[in-house]
Amino acid sequence: MTTKYHITRLVILFLMTMHITVYAVPGISLSDSFAKPGEIANLTISYRGEQIVTSLQFDINYDVSLVTSGDILKGNAASNHLVRTRLFSPGFIRIVIYSYDGSLLDNGSVVQIPFTLNSSFTGRTNVSIDPLRLADDGGEVVSSIDVKHGTLSAAFDFSIQVFEGWNLISFRLSPNVVEPHSLFGNTLTSPAWGWSNTSEHRNIFNTVSRLSSQKGYWLKLSEGGMRNLTGNIPESSSFIAQPGWNLLGVSEQISYPDNPSIKGGFGLGIMSIKTLGKYKQLKI
């Protein structure tokens, strides 16, 4: 009995004194970028994770019928590294980032690729990244890599009219600037309010930090006027409606819906603002 006790104790002490270094999974991510048709959108490729990687090799794939790539620029995170690129075929670029002295990559931008959007391009296109090799400071290949692909979108000018006081607004395009105060500046005198109708938060107003299309928001402004914005066409004009009240915006110039369930056959149906703070039912 005594012998078994001492063996167990030794094993426990051994496990407690072991030191295992666990690194977070490194990753490569592409940004989501936008520009007006015919202009340049800069897409950034970034490294994120522990500072253990000395070299990267990856492929970039894109649709040459929609966008054209330009000369690749080195980012701040790879300031002590060399960058080599090769266009294997249209829409297929291989990029190698390395150093002779084993310098570690910092977190942040490693390269930036300027893409010119074709003048006829009006939507959104994916840009994918395929990591082929990451090597750490010991020369070992890092096998587990987290990847985020990117998008390039065509941006368009649009405007909305707002008034002094409370405004119930939506955006027909997805605004390129999403922070409320960045969009409306000092004229925004309260937090932006959205509507939550989920299983966790049923039928309540909540403050929001990002604005998007296909949703409605309450904003209180100190002055009215036209606001000139830029945005992208939403990926889809459809939306998910929850049981009960929904605060939605449409992304197209459309007539009132024919669907009786949206018209509100047995409920109050679609509402509009008659005056600020007062509603009336739309007869459709």
The DSSP string of 105-129 is PPSEEEEEEEEEEPTT--SEEEEEE
* Residue-wise pLDDT tens digits, 9-23: 433 333 344 434 444
- Name the residue with tokens 């910092």: 106
User: CA nearest 63: which of 115, 28, 15, 17?
Assistant: 115
Sheet holding 204-208, edge to edge: 165-169, 217-221, 192-196, 204-208
Contact 86, 94 (CB under 8 A): yes
At which residue do the structure tokens 């922070």 appear? 179
- Annotated domain spans of the chain: 27-154, 163-275
Q: What is the DSSP string of the chain?
A: -HHHHHHHHHHHHHHHH-----PPPPEEEEPEEEE-TTSEEEEEEEEES-TTEEEEEEEEE--TTTEEE---EE-GGGTTSEEEEEEEETTEEEEEEE-SS-PPPPSEEEEEEEEEEPTT--SEEEEEEEEEEEEETTSPBP---EEE-EEEEEEEEEEEEE-SEEEEE--SSEES---HHHHHGGGB-S-EEEEE-SSSS-SEEEEES---TTS-EEEEESS-EEEEEEEE--S-S--PPPSS------SS--PPP--HHHHTTTS---EEEEETTEEEE---
Pairing state between β 271-275 and 165-169: unpaired
46, 54, 69, 133, 191 from 113: Cα distances, Å: 11, 21, 7, 20, 36
Provide CB contacts within 8 A for 245, sequence distance 6+: 195, 197, 203
CATH number of 27-154: 2.60.40.680
Query: What is the per-residue pLDDT across 147-201, written as a single tens digit (0 to 9) for each?
Result: 899 999 999 998 989 999 999 888 888 888 889 999 999 999 999 998 887 666 6
How far from the centroid of its chain's Cα atoms is residue 180's Cα?
A: 16
Torsion of CA 35, 39, 45, 46, to 10 degrees: -50
**How far is the C-alpha of 211 from the C-alpha of 171, rounded, in Å?**
9
Q: What is the structure's pLDDT at 83? A: 93
Per-run averaged pLDDT (10 residues), the chain, 284 residues? 43 39 71 94 90 86 95 91 92 92 88 95 93 71 81 92 90 88 92 80 80 89 92 78 78 52 43 46 45
